[in-house]
Amino acid sequence: MIGMGGSGLFKRVEIPPPPDNTPLPTAKPYGIGKPPFEAVSSVGCSSAACHGGGKLDTKFSEYSTWAATAFSGKLYDPHSTAYRVLFNEDSVRIGKLMGMKEPHKEALCLKCHATEGVKPAEAVSEGVGCASCHGPAEKWISVHMLPEWKALSNQSKFTDYGFVPTKNLVARVSNCTTCHVGDADREVNHDLIAAGHPRLSFEYTRYQFNPKYRHHWDEVLPQPDFEVRAWTVGQAATLRAAIDLLRVRAERAAGNDPKTTWPEFSGLSCFACHQTVGGEVPSNTGTVTRPLGVPAWELWSNSAAGVAAALCPQALPGTTSPDLWELAALRKLMQKTRPDPKAVAIRAKRAVAELDAWLAELQASEDKTTTRLPADAPRKFAHALSINALSMDRTKLRDYDWDALTANYLGTAAMYHASGGKEFVPKWTDPIRGLMADLEYPPRKAGERFDSPAGFGKTKRDLVRDRFRELFDVTADPGAKP
Ligand code: HEC
Ligand code: HEC
Ligand code: HEC
Ligand code: HEC
């Protein structure tokens, strides 16, 4: 089981990492990777008889809903404006600092802010269009409405036709991560961040339920099942994407690629480097010990994933908790002052295979499970997350880094939302809202170029610890003997 630093919920004995030649699982989920087909521009989906019906938020009007910025400036799909962003003040400044003349013509920016594979003359200006999430439609556009289509397996829809079966959460979220985490072909590295690009910090349920995001679909699965599963799958898929990106960077660094910084700062704890020297005396620094002077690696995607791994059978029936030994070994490698890129590349590749096997299991469960989850499933997850955030005796935080705390908080917030919020779990409301207030970025001051939680210090950390303790109490099993 993975945990942070070996204490808390996922305590385990230290064992040496498995040797590099241990056979790995071979199971792989469908829906990951780029299908080798041509993309069709969104305009090709927009006829009134197909997805351009013009009645927002209804079936057969998905194109209209996606494109609806003209109707409502407040509630719209940010993907349809993703290309336009490349002309704004922030993009122009990023471009200047990166030595680019026109960001809207840069392949780097277009990879994530436009629909890849669609010819510029056709529709680069459409932003992130249908093909970006549903797959290149060359082969499936003419058949996906036929009765025979329904009879195909998801695997075949993906492999033979290049259609991403987004109803399955593993395929869906893995696809979001290509842009929201990055992949071999596109990344937001520390250079881009330092030039002013927002840091990528994806958490699926947070993005799915972003109040400004106008969806063009309704979920088939009812709550709380949907969100408990979506959070669990989101953890696994985001972690897999982050580690595959690490693998790519490590392979490049091992091959002495002059354009690769190693280790890449955007995969390390921002707050390990960006803090005021000589500022507040560190205290309440948590019980996780890390070698001094080594910034923690990927806390964003690692910190709550152990809870998803431990509790996945409670979200997706028929699955088993993975051991994730390769990941534990990788984490150890990344705690060295200068991790050896060759060793990291090998271990990361193995960790991806291990995570793929886990994702394949989650995916299969999702495709066949029809049983509803017990009503208190979210409570169990929220409880486990509060344990995960605290030290064994719950007098301290386990890890005081903002990323680790926020990863745990976002999980509890998803569970609160899944449970129906204030009306159904009123006792969670105070700690959840308190956590949000304490972890939220303070408003940007005049002249500041970046949103950041700078100033997140002891006072806030103490409050956060108290909130997690409160949450631990209110999410305890009501039937358990004290
Ligand atoms: C790996 C994919 C990726 C690449 C490469 C990328 N972006 Fe982004 N960009 C994103 C994502 C995802 C967001 C949304 C971030 C969020 O809110 O979580 C974003 C957000 C932005 C924003 C803020 C959006 C807003 O509404 O204010 C700007 C500006 C921006 N990108 C400009 C650029 C420019 C300019 C480039 C090229 C130099 C670039 N991006 C390259 C994925 C990418
Ligand atoms: C950012 C990713 C994304 C983009 C871009 C996107 N979709 Fe979707 N779409 C989804 C997700 C996620 C679902 C929900 C799962 C599902 O039903 O497959 C969905 C669902 C759908 C559905 C099924 C709706 C239902 O009620 O069953 C249709 C049809 C659809 N999208 C068409 C489109 C069209 C047409 C476009 C382009 C205008 C588009 N989508 C762009 C992610 C996206
Ligand atoms: C092809 C790349 C790409 C894919 C795939 C993609 N996105 Fe995005 N997404 C972006 C970019 C670029 C932005 C920034 C657009 C802007 O600011 O206008 C963005 C913005 C968003 C935002 C708004 C974020 C904010 O802070 O306001 C949400 C929410 C979001 N995406 C959710 C998703 C989800 C959920 C999926 C998968 C179903 C997904 N995206 C798939 C590129 C992508
Ligand atoms: C290993 C140390 C290290 C890590 C980790 C790191 N940075 Fe940096 N960062 C730096 C250094 C050094 C600079 C350059 C400082 C300067 O020139 O003012 C910098 C510059 C920046 C800048 C530009 C600041 C300015 O005023 O122009 C931003 C923004 C930034 N980093 C954000 C981040 C974010 C977000 C993360 C986490 C995803 C991160 N950094 C991780 C060391 C780091």
| Half-sphere CA count of 343, side-chain side, radius 13 A | 13
Q: pLDDT tens for residues 381-390?
A: 999 999 999 9
Taking only the tens place, the pLDDT of each residue in 273-328 is 887 655 555 555 678 878 777 889 999 999 999 999 999 999 999 999 999 999 99
Quick check: CB of 79 below 6 Å from ligand 2? yes
- Region 157-166: mean pLDDT is 97
Residues touching ligand 4 (Cβ under 6 Å) are 190, 193-194, 199, 265-266, 268-270, 272-274, 295, 450
Amino acid of residue 55: K
- Tens of pLDDT along 200-251? 999 999 999 998 899 999 998 999 999 999 999 999 999 999 999 999 999 9
Q: Which atom of ligand 3 is nearest to the CA of 213?
A: 29
Q: What is the pLDDT of residue 80?
A: 92
Residue 167 CA to residue 134 CA, distance in Å, equals: 10
Asked whether 180 lines ligand 1 (CB < 6 A), one says yes
Output the pLDDT for position 70: 54
Sign of CA dihedral 205, 210, 211, 215: negative
Could you tell me the distance, in angstroms and rounded to a whole number, from the CA of residue 94 to the centre of ligand 4? Answer: 15
- Per-residue tokens: 322: 């993975």
Confidence bin at 11 (pLDDT 50/70/90): very low
* CA pair distance 246, 450, nearest whole angstrom: 25
Ligand 2 contact via 229 beta carbon (within 6 Å): no
pLDDT in tens, 167-209: 999 999 999 999 999 999 999 999 999 999 999 999 999 999 9
The pLDDT of residue 445: 78
Q: How far is the CA of 194 from the centre of ligand 1 (A)?
A: 13
The answer to whether the CB of 263 falls within 8 A of the CB of 337 is no
Q: What is the pLDDT of residue 123?
A: 59
Q: Is the dihedral of CA 470, 471, 477, 478 positive or negative?
A: positive
Q: What six digits make up the tokens of 19?
A: 């040797």
Model pLDDT, residue 105:
92
Confidence of residue 142 (pLDDT cuts 50, 70, 90): very high
Burial class of residue 11, CB neighbours in 10 A (0-12, 13-18, 19+): exposed
Convert 391-411 to b/e letters by CB count within 10 Å (16 or more is b): beebebbbbbbbbbbbbbbbb
Annotate 149-161 with b (16+ C-beta within 10 A) or e (fewer).
Answer: eeebebeebbeeb
Residues 6+ apart with CB under 8 A from 218: none
Is the pLDDT score of 89 beyond 80? yes
* Average pLDDT for 127-155: 95
Please check whether residue 54 is in contact with residue 48, taking contact to mean a CB–CB distance below 8 angstroms: yes
Instruction: Single out the residue of 140, 290, 187, 170 nearest to residue 232, CA to CA.
Output: 170
What is the model's pLDDT at position 282? 53
* Residue 90 alpha carbon, nearest atom of ligand 1: 29
CA of 16 to the centre of ligand 1 (A): 40
Is 60 exceeded by the pLDDT of residue 12?
no
From the CA of 263, give the closest atom in ligand 4.
1
- pLDDT tens across 420-457, in order? 999 999 999 999 999 999 999 888 777 777 777 777 88
Q: What's the pLDDT score for residue 4?
A: 38
Distance CA 405, CA 389 (A): 7
Which listed ligand is nearest to 76 at the C-alpha?
A: 3
The Cα–Cα gap between 71 and 68 comes to 5
Model pLDDT, residue 185: 94
* Mean pLDDT lowest among 133-142, 250-259, 442-451: 442-451
pLDDT in tens, 30-87: 999 999 999 998 988 998 889 998 888 899 999 999 988 755 667 889 999 999 999 9
- Average the pLDDT over each of 1-5, 327-331, 349-353 and give the range with the smallest value: 1-5
User: Residues, the chain, total?
Assistant: 482
The C-alpha atoms of residue 463 and residue 346 are separated, in whole angstroms, by 41
Q: How far apart are CA 240 and CA 235, in angstroms?
A: 9
pLDDT, tens digit, for every residue of 332-355?
999 988 899 999 999 999 999 999
Residue 458 neighbours by CB distance under 10 Å: 14
Question: 108: Cβ below 6 Å to ligand 1?
Answer: yes
Pocket test for ligand 1, best of 80, 109, 238, 450 (most atoms within 8 A of CB): 109
Q: Is 104 in the pocket of ligand 1 (CB under 6 A)?
A: no
The answer, yes or no, to whether any atom of ligand 2 lies below 6 A from the CB of 167, is yes
User: Is the C-beta atom of 324 inside 6 A of ligand 2?
Assistant: no
Q: How far is C-alpha 355 from the geometric centre of its chain's CA atoms?
A: 14
Average pLDDT score, the chain: 90
Ligand nearest the Cα of residue 114 is 3
The answer to whether residue 5 scores a pLDDT higher than 70 is: no
Contact 286, 408 (CB under 8 A): no
CA end-to-end span of the chain? 27
